[in-house]
Structure 1
């Protein structure tokens, strides 16, 4: 795995100019302190046993660090490399008492290091797989949209009930159409009792603050669905009552929908009337 990541990064470096990445990006050798030794060197402040690591850095940040072996390095792993060590060298130093005998003969990555190294790459790979699966489902014609949030669904039902009340009363036909429309656009299973519960609490007198509250906390796409649902309900008779027009324009203003979006969503709703006849 580490060889693959190194090869991938080298390929990226070769495919782009060095100036595109900067001085802090590339493959680097580094040393990490392991333990002190009793080895003396003339003119040196001390020789330490260190891990030799192959690091991949991006803009100065280490995104991959693989231990490749041991080395003796001056100045507590900050100076010059005095000697690179094989497992046989480590055994000789251990036998002579120059290094801690508990240090493993072979330098390997710890579990924490492996998790750090491969966790990010695993997340990237899983993300790419998810994108590929989603794209494949889209090409095969599957509906990738999930149900809308419960809060959004309740707001849409409430807006539909207000729209249904514009002609004076919400009858059983309106209740059935509201449930059907809300279920289709929110992609949630709704019961008639859910609609009746909201309709019973509807107050015909709406203030500007009430319109604002209907869209408060909703995403732009969710506001579009709300307006699409209300347009569908009010236009299904082929005519628009003055009270319905006032409700539509007041709702669009309250939720902050621009005029071009208002017309766009209305056209979508008109298309829905052809695809999903109300009667």
Structure 2
């Protein structure tokens, strides 16, 4: 946020959870005050029970980049959903969406059933074999993957390195703050309105509190599950981005400012 203000920028949120309406606390969505200070794109796009693809994100993000640039501002894409970011950075040519009937059938299958269907069809198992969205897409595309293009020109890509223990401590602190802000009520209300199988509620933090809301786990157990889920997600994101050789890794904001300044002065 500070960097956006410093460089007259606007933010494109590349996060597969903040796209959902009403999921504000559990996704650490920017507050209304923060959004009034810096314009954000990619927030509150769909209801929690709807699907949204990386191809749709790419289309939205490219329009936002053109809009921001045409107004003389700096587009800044921020987030942790690797395919969203890479889809824009490397101009992925995404495969077409599946038949709605087939998507509905697959959405009703468990992770184990999806994995079994992939094995039966002799398809390549996705890297994240526990993610139903990844498994579903593998079946829909018959194992085909999007075509990756050349890196986007005139683009500065920065990643922040964080010690894993510090990262875990931050997740724990953030989770406690979310609970104070009303996260448990948010989870409860969303589950009642949209059901636990809703796309949005598959987010690690929301899934961690399902058993607590249903009276099957204690609050401490749910908290521990939240931290564990979020930490594992962060590690997977870290692994994904480490493969991108275009990323310049920094340890703090000052280093990021120096890199951005150098890039803009070229």
Scaled by the length of structure 1, the TM-score of the pair is 0.19
Scaled by the length of structure 2, the TM-score of the pair is 0.20
Larger relative contact order (Cα-Cα within 8 Å, sequence gap ≥ 6):
2
